[in-house]
Amino acid sequence: MQWYHYFSGFWAGMFLANFVPHYIKGTAGDPFPTPFSKQPGKSLSSPLVNILWGLLNLVIGSLLFRIGSVSADDNLSVLICFVGFTSVSIFNAWNFTHKDKI
């Protein structure tokens, strides 16, 4: 595999992980921070905005997953995708800890 496959796999993991909280909060009807709020990433966006943002992350992540050729046959590609997934998950947990105090 080429280096850009691994690069795409890493970003695929990041986008796919970012899909989860936005989509869940949106479908639960809860406001949640997005890049489109008055204070991007800090103030809250509507559930509809979160659903749309989550779905966009899913589409981009899925495309990057395919471009990256992430496959169980290539353990390194799976590991790199997992590292991307884990890194944005930890970042989100750290970043959104105080979202209710805005």
Query: What is the model's pLDDT at position 96?
Result: 81
CA–CA separation, 12 vs 6, rounded Å?
10
Question: Residues 39-83: pLDDT tens digits?
Answer: 887 789 999 999 999 999 999 999 999 999 899 898 999 999 999
Query: What is the model's pLDDT at position 89?
Result: 95
45 phi/psi in degrees, rounded to 5: -110, 160
pTM score of the predicted model: 0.88
> Is-contact 12 68, C-beta < 8 A?
yes
CA–CA separation, 64 vs 76, rounded Å?
16
